[in-house]
Amino acid sequence: MVVAQVSPPLAVDSGVRFLEEVSAKTAGVSRLEMCIQCGTCGGSCPSADDMDHTPRMLFAMIRAGMKEQALRSNTPWMCVSCYHCVVRCPQGVHIADVMYTLKGMAEQEKSYRDSTPPGFARVFVGQVETFGRSWELGLTARHYLRHFILRLPRMTPMAAGLFFRGRIGILPHRIRQRKQLHAILSRAEELEKVS
Ligand code: SF4
Ligand code: SF4
């Protein structure tokens, strides 16, 4: 008996490819393919109300090969890495790590709907590379000056309160041995190029 070779539908094929791409780019093991669409992650997420799609929906989109829509979703950018979803996921999916992967892919492909969150992330990363840690006052001031200048006056009393309680500093703090940090970052960049 001759068995006809049936090609998988295009969407399934591209879905598998996108899921594999996301998994391969995620540090460690993503376990994304283990998602059973239970929705526990979205129900645990403090940022869910601000997200275009809950994490569960986003993972369904990845599986369906909806790469452009997934990368343009604001969901990864709204993730605050609280790890609530990670500890509650019955399948052990490394949800927060997948969010980082999607942010990286969106940044690489310049595929985002709103440039504000990637802009914030870029300034944050630049500070960490320069000082070895974030500088809250500089980060916030730069972000608001660039994107929300009219809201700046409303932020001033809060900034003053944080300053007088010693929670933020006027000048950035620098870690010691920044050369070691730069060596680690350079090595990470080299590894990323060959992977
Ligand atoms: S909690 Fe885990 S298994 Fe459930 S939808 Fe979210 S990622 Fe999938
Ligand atoms: S780690 Fe991100 S996606 Fe998960 S619950 Fe926290 S904010 Fe939501």
Distance from C-alpha of 71 to C-alpha of 107, rounded to nearest angstrom: 9
Q: Ligand 2 test: best mutation among 45, 75, 86, most atoms within 8 Å of CB?
A: 45
The residue ranges of the chain whose pLDDT is under 70 are 1-12, 14-15, 195
Query: What integer pLDDT is reported at residue 4 of this predicted model?
Result: 40
Query: What integer pLDDT is reported at residue 168 of this predicted model?
Result: 87
Q: Burial code of 164-186, b = ≥16 C-beta within 10 A, e = fewer?
A: eeeebeeebeeeeeeeebeeeee
Query: What are the domain boundaries of the chain?
Result: 7-112, 115-195
**Identity of the amino acid at 82:** C
Atom of ligand 2 nearest to the CA of 96: 1
CA–centroid distance, residue 84 to ligand 1 (Å): 12
Query: What integer pLDDT is reported at residue 192 of this predicted model?
Result: 76
| Tokens linked to 195 | 């992977």
Query: What integer pLDDT is reported at residue 88 of this predicted model?
Result: 97
CATH of domain 7-112: 1.10.1060.10
CA–centroid distance, residue 59 to ligand 1 (Å): 8
Condensed to tens digits (0 to 9), the pLDDT of residues 72-127 reads 999 999 999 999 999 999 999 999 999 999 999 999 998 888 889 999 999 999 99
Distance from C-alpha of 113 to C-alpha of 106, rounded to nearest angstrom: 10
Share of the chain above pLDDT 90, in %: 69
- The pTM (predicted TM-score) of the whole model is 0.82
Which ranges in 2-135 belong to alpha helices (H)? 10-25, 40-44, 55-63, 67-72, 75-78, 84-88, 95-108, 116-131
Whether the CB of 66 sits within 6 Å of ligand 2: no
Contacts of residue 44, Cβ cutoff 8 Å, sequence gap at least 6: 84, 85, 88
